[in-house]
Structure formats: structure tokens, C-alpha cells
Structure 1
Amino acid sequence: MGILDIRDLSISYDGKSVLSEFDLSVSKGEKILIKGRSGIGKSTIFRLIMGFGIQASGEILLAGIPIDADNIWDVRKKVAYVSQDTDITEGKVSELIDEVLSFKANRLNISKENVEAIMSDLSLSHRILNKEYTRLSGGEKQRIALVLALLSGKDVFLLDEVTAELDVTLKQKVVSMFFDNPQWTVLSISHDREWEEKATNIIDLSGKVN
């Protein structure tokens, strides 16, 4: 049993099966790339893990405990999810960061220097802190969403096309940030070759369709 287990998962859209009897066991510290054509259910798997949506059949377990409506908030406290939809919130960037830092679990663990280091690694200047999130470019939104995930103090990450709008240098930086940390468990959905080059396990969903 892994830190995350998906058992016999089948997904249907409008009565049409797009994913059938999918199984996956993820060990702590594993770095997994999930790939496959558009519409095959990649993003839906992440949303199901986070409790967004309804699975047609199957079971998802976190640390051996089945995920359900009663414990989904506990799951969200342990798993960081960065969606490919970057229009996730509004307000000044500094306010979004302050909100994450205000969480009880983070108060003693994250310093101003930690924030500055993460932003620097993602080529974000301090000027962006005073900008409205909704007015950022797509690439800036992706990087701010990653900053928020990294500041959350979690060690399981679901990353959905988080480098799609970044240049090659930034893609490589982001992949290294997540895949080079042996303590983090990372599942990434991406078409970027940088993820494939460093993944310890590549799951191609193309063969999981009826």
C-alpha cells in the first residue's frame, strides 16, 4: 500500500467511458508523470482525489484511508493541488501569500527569507507582490500558484500542466524544484518533455480506455 492508492477507477462523461479500471499505487517520495491524449481523464483523477466531482466507480485512498465526504477536508490539508486553471482567486499577490502564511501550521515554519528564495527561484520580482492576481500574465499566475503550493507546507503535490506557459529555462527550474526533493510525493500531468526526462514513473492513460 502506498501513500496514495487508486483502485479500479472508471470515469465516464455523458455516458461514454473515458477511463476504465485504472489502478495506481504511489509510494512516498515517488515522482510520477501522467500522460495521455486530451479528454482521457487525467485532470479528472486529480479532481477526484481532492473531492471535486463524482467517480463512476472505484476507490481512492490516502495513507490507507478511503477518501470520502467525511474526511475530504483532511485530505485537502495534506495534499497541494495546482490546477491548469490559473484563474483561481483574486486580490493582491501579497495578500494571497499572507493568507497562506497565516495558516496555523505555517506560522513557525516559513520565514520572509523562505518566501523570497522561492520567488527568486521562479524568477519573480518583488514588484509582483503589489499587483492584482487577476492582472497577471498566464505564466505569472502559474508561478504564483506554485509559490502558494510550496508555502503550504504540504509534501504531496498534484500538478496539472503547471509549466505550460513557461519558457524552457523556467520549465526546467520548476521540474527540478519538485522532482529533486526526495521528501515530496509528486504527480504531474504535462506534455512538456522536461517532466518526462526526470520522472521516476510514467503512466500513459492511453491504454486504459475501453
Structure 2
Amino acid sequence: MGLLDIQNLSVSYDGKSILSDFNFSILKGEKILIKGNSGIGKSTLFRMIMGFGKYNSGEIYLEGVPVDADNIWDIRKKVAYVSQDTDIAEGKVSDLIDEVFSFKANRNNNGKSDLEKLLNRLSLSPDLVNKEYMKLSGGEKQRVVLVLALLSGKDIFLLDEVTSELDTGLKQKVVDIFFDNPQWTVLAISHDREWETKAMKVIDFSGRVN
């Protein structure tokens, strides 16, 4: 059994099948890219893993533990999920950073000391933390959300189109950050070639694995 295992997962909305008997397994430390046309279930898969929806049939296991209502909060403590929606909150960037470290699971996390290094690596000014988050550009929001995920101290990442607003150089920087750490397990959805170049496996939703 892998770190994350999905067995015969089927999801449908309003009578339309989104996923049908989908099977998938990822081992600790693997870096896998999921690609395919819009609307064929890629983002739905991530939401099911995080418990943000109901599936019709099948099983999802994280570290051998079934993802269900009884333990979903324990699951979420282990996984950093970055969605396509970057309009996550209002207030200053510093407030969002403080909120991450107010969570019980992160109170003993020393990652906050890495903040300046992460901002620099992602070409963000240290002064950005004093700005209103909702007034940032799309690319700045994407990078701030990624910084929050990286500061969370988690080592399993679900990344959904997290570089779509970035230029080529920044896309590569993000990919390098996530893929160069052998301890991190990364499952990314993207249409950007920078992810495909470094991914250990590329999975499309026709079931083909490269």
C-alpha cells in the first residue's frame, strides 16, 4: 500500500459521471503530475481526498487510514492543499501568516523562521507582508498561498494549477522548490511544461501513465 491509495473511486454530480472506477497510488517522496482537459475530474479528485465532497463509491486511504468523516481533520493536518482559488481571505498578508501558526498543529513549527528566505526565493519583497492580500496581483497571490503551504510544515502537497499566473522563470522556481526535496510527496495538477519535465510520473485521465 502506498502513502496515498485510491481504489475504484466513482464520483457523479447531477447524474453526470466525473470519475469512474479511478485507481491511483503514490509512494512517499514521489512527485506526480496529473494533466488533462478541464472538467474531467482532476480538481474533483483533490477535493475528495481532502473530504470536501462525497463520492458514490470506492475508498481513499492516507497512510493506510481511510479518509472518512471520523478522521478527516487528522488527514487535513497532514496534507497541504493549494487550490486554484487564491481569494482565500481578506486582511494583510502578515495576518494570514500569523493565522497559519495559530493552528494547534503548527504551534511547535519552526517554519516561520524560513519566511524571508521563501519570499526571496519566490521574488517577493519582504514588505509584501504589510500589504492587503486582496489587493495583490494574481501572481503575487499564488506565490503567497504557496508560501503559506510551505510554512505549514507538512510534507504532502496537493497542488492545483498553482503556477498558472506566473512567468516561465517563476514557474521553474516553484517546481524546483517542491520537487527538489526528497522527503516531500507532491501530486500536482498543471498544464505547465515545467512540471512535466521534472515529474517522476505523468498521469492523464484516460488512464495512461508515462
The answer, yes or no, to whether TM exceeds 0.5 is yes
**1:70 counterpart SS class:** coil
Give CA-to-partner distance per residue, 1:21-53, whole Å, 9 cap, x none: 110111000001011111000000000111101
Residues 101 and 110, structure 1, Cα contact 8 Å, conserved in 2: no
Deviates more, 1:45-54 or 1:104-113: 104-113
1:61-72 to 2 correspondences below 5 Å: 61-72=61-72
Tell me how far apart the structure 2 counterparts of residues 160 and 111 of structure 1 sit (CA, whole Å): 23
Tell me how far apart the structure 1 counterparts of residues 147 and 39 of structure 2 sit (CA, whole Å): 28
- Quickly say closer, same or farther: Cα 1:104–1:11, change in 2 above 3 A: closer
| Aligned match of 2:193 | 193
Residues 37 and 206, structure 1, Cα contact 8 Å, conserved in 2: no
Deviation at residue 56 of structure 1 after TM alignment: 1.7
Identity of aligned residues (%): 73
1:141-156 to 2 correspondences below 5 Å: 141-156=141-156
Give CA-to-partner distance per residue, 1:124-160, whole Å, 9 cap, x none: 1012111111111111110010000000000000000
Tell me how far apart the structure 1 counterparts of residues 55 and 160 of structure 2 sit (CA, whole Å): 19
TM-score normalized with structure 1 length: 0.95
Residues 4 and 63, structure 1, Cα contact 8 Å, conserved in 2: yes
Residues 112 and 151, structure 2, Cα contact 8 Å, conserved in 1: no
Q: Which amino acid aligns with 1:81?
A: Y
Deviation at residue 100 of structure 1 after TM alignment: 1.5
Unaligned runs of 5+ in 1: none
TM-score normalized with structure 2 length: 0.95
Deviation at residue 107 of structure 1 after TM alignment: 4.1
- Quickly say closer, same or farther: Cα 1:112–1:43, change in 2 above 3 A: closer
Tell me how far apart the structure 2 counterparts of residues 36 and 45 of structure 1 sit (CA, whole Å): 13
**2:206 counterpart SS class:** helix
**1:2 counterpart SS class:** coil
- Alignment of 1:81 with 2:81, yes or no, is yes
Tell me how far apart the structure 1 counterparts of residues 136 and 157 of structure 2 sit (CA, whole Å): 23
Tell me how far apart the structure 2 counterparts of residues 62 and 176 of structure 1 sit (CA, whole Å): 25
Tell me how far apart the structure 2 counterparts of residues 73 and 28 of structure 1 sit (CA, whole Å): 20
Residues 111 and 151, structure 2, Cα contact 8 Å, conserved in 1: no
Unaligned runs of 5+ in 2: none
**1:5 counterpart SS class:** strand
Residues 83 and 162, structure 1, Cα contact 8 Å, conserved in 2: yes
Q: Which amino acid aligns with 2:170?
A: L
Q: Which amino acid aligns with 1:23?
A: N
Runs of 4+ in 1 over 3 A off after TM superposition: 102-109
- Alignment of 1:46 with 2:46, yes or no, is yes
Residues 50 and 75, structure 2, Cα contact 8 Å, conserved in 1: yes
**2:61 counterpart SS class:** strand
Q: Which amino acid aligns with 1:183?
A: Q
Q: CA RMSD in A?
A: 1.4
User: Taking CA–CA contacts closer than 8 Å with sequence separation of 6 or more, which of the two structures ends up with the larger relative contact order?
Assistant: 1
| Aligned match of 1:115 | 115
Give CA-to-partner distance per residue, 1:180-208, whole Å, 9 cap, x none: 11000000000000000000011100348
